[in-house]
């Protein structure tokens, strides 16, 4: 059974700082991995999707890396802004009969103006 751990659970940074969110998963047999953000009381917004054959993906100020063999992914946010404040969720997609995402508990990010 896939288990996902996200560290830290919460993070508070001043505006403009670069930061890294960490995700580790126990079963490396994944097809891909998605990073999402969730605003309070809202659904999930997909940020980045990394295929298992890829090492990283970039979208604007976001860069996600994947080290499948070691079961780790990181989300790098450059020049953080108050609008980045949200909970960030990492979710590896395990196929082979278990066609579902497994979620970590997330990292709650607060960017202080």
Partner 1 sequence: GAVVSQHPSWVICKSGTSVKIECRSLDFQATTMFWYRQFPKQSLMLMATSNEGSKATYEQGVEKDKFLINHASLTLSTLTVTSAHPEDSSFYICSARGVKRGGYNEQFFGPGTRLTVL
Stretch that binds partner 1, among 18-26, 61-69, 72-80, 104-112 (CB under 8 A): 104-112
User: Contact between 76 and partner 1 (CB under 8 A)?
Assistant: no
Strand residues in 1-113 grouped as ranges (E): 4-7, 10-14, 19-25, 32-38, 44-51, 56-59, 62-67, 72-77, 86-94, 100-101, 107-112
Binding test (CB under 8 A) with partner 1, winner from 101, 107, 109, 111: 101
Distances (CA, A) of 108 to 22, 36, 52, 86, 104: 12, 12, 26, 6, 12
Stretch that binds partner 1, among 14-22, 33-41, 62-70, 73-81 (CB under 8 A): 33-41
- Nearer Cβ to partner 1 (25/36): 36
Binding test (CB under 8 A) with partner 1, winner from 30, 47, 64, 89: 89
């Amino acid at each position: 059974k896939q288990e996902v751990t996200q560290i830290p659970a919460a993070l508070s940074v001043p505006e403009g700082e670069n930061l890294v969110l960490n995700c580790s998963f126990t079963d490396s047999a994944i097809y891909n991995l998605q990073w999402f953000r969730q605003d309070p009381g809202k659904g999930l917004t997909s940020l980045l999707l990394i295929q298992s054959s890829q090492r990283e993906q970039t979208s604007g100020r976001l860069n996600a890396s994947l080290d499948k063999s070691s079961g780790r992914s990181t989300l790098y946010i450059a020049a953080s802004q108050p609008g980045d404040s949200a909970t960030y969720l990492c979710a590896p997609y395990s196929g082979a009969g278990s066609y579902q995402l497994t979620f970590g508990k997330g990292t709650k990010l607060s960017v202080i103006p």
